[in-house]
């Protein structure tokens, strides 16, 4: 088994990376079917993940992977979109960030999940090369512990897919 990396500046709580973005959909966000354009949402997801990762690491980061991104619910013109992101796992140079996206019904306050995704963000130095994440991650709540445990399994699956070329 590999030796555990010790992060030089200690640890931060999951909540320290928590990021929330809210947007109202405009004409330029729509696709040809008058629904939210998936590519626009992917841009917003990447932005939220990057902000969460940077809040955690305190240094420059870059996105290296996006795990499953399924669209479960449509969104339309003038709908309100909420995007929530937080760091779920930290390795030596990388962080996994979960991003959940919801569409809100303003009349009822009900939120429907559009999707959730996991992105891998890597800390980079001034030359754009991977560098160690300065802070580890500590989970405090039952939900945070469960997410952290699941993130280790996802990290193992990502490593397996890379080794097998899939």
Determine the pLDDT at residue 7.
77
Q: Is the pLDDT of residue 3 over 60?
A: no
Confidence of residue 162 (pLDDT cuts 50, 70, 90): confident
CATH code, domain carrying 26: 3.10.129.10
Q: Which of 6, 25, 83 is nearest to 51 (CA)?
A: 83
Q: Looking at residues 26-48, what average pLDDT do you find?
A: 97
CA angle 84, 21, 102 (to 5 degrees): 55
Helix ranges (H only) for 17-123 are: 38-57
Give a yes or no: residue 100 inside a domain: yes
Determine the pLDDT at residue 30.
97
Give a yes or no: residue 3 inside a domain: no
Give a yes or no: residue 143 inside a domain: yes
Among positive and negative, which fits the CA dihedral 113, 161, 17, 24?
Answer: negative
Domain that holds residue 114: 11-164
Q: Looking at residues 105-109, what average pLDDT do you find?
A: 83
Give a yes or no: residue 102 inside a domain: yes
User: Residue 129, SS3?
Assistant: coil
Give a yes or no: residue 141 inside a domain: yes
Determine the pLDDT at residue 166.
77
Confidence of residue 4 (pLDDT cuts 50, 70, 90): low
Give a yes or no: residue 49 inside a domain: yes
Q: Is the pLDDT of residue 22 over 80?
A: yes
Give a yes or no: residue 5 inside a domain: no
Number of domains in the chain: 1
Q: Is the pLDDT of residue 5 over 70?
A: no
Task: Summarize pLDDT for 59-105 with one digit per residue, the tens.
Answer: 999 999 998 788 999 999 999 999 999 999 999 999 999 999 999 98
Task: Summarize pLDDT for 110-156 with one digit per residue, the tens.
Answer: 999 999 999 999 999 999 999 999 999 999 999 999 998 999 899 88
Strands 136-138 and 11-13, by their bridges, are: parallel
Determine the pLDDT at residue 14.
94
């Amino acid at each position: 088994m590999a030796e555990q990396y010790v992060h030089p500046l200690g640890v931060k709580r999951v909540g320290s990376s928590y990021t929330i973005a809210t947007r109202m959909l405009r004409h330029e966000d729509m696709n040809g079917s008058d629904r939210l354009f998936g590519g626009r949402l992917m841009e917003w997801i990447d932005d939220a993940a990057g902000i969460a990762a940077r809040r955690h690491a305190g240094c420059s980061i870059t996105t290296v992977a996006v795990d499953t991104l399924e669209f479960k619910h449509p969104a339309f013109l003038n709908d309100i979109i909420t995007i929530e992101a937080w760091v779920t796992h930290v390795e030596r140079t990388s962080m996994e960030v979960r991003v959940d996206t919801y569409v809100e019904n303003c009349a009822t306050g009900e939120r429907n999940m559009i999707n959730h995704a996991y992105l891998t963000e890597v800390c980079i130095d001034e030359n754009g090369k991977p560098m160690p994440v300065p802070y580890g991650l500590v989970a405090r709540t039952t939900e945070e512990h469960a997410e952290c445990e699941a993130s280790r399994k996802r990290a193992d699956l990502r490593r397996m897919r890379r080794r097998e070329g899939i």
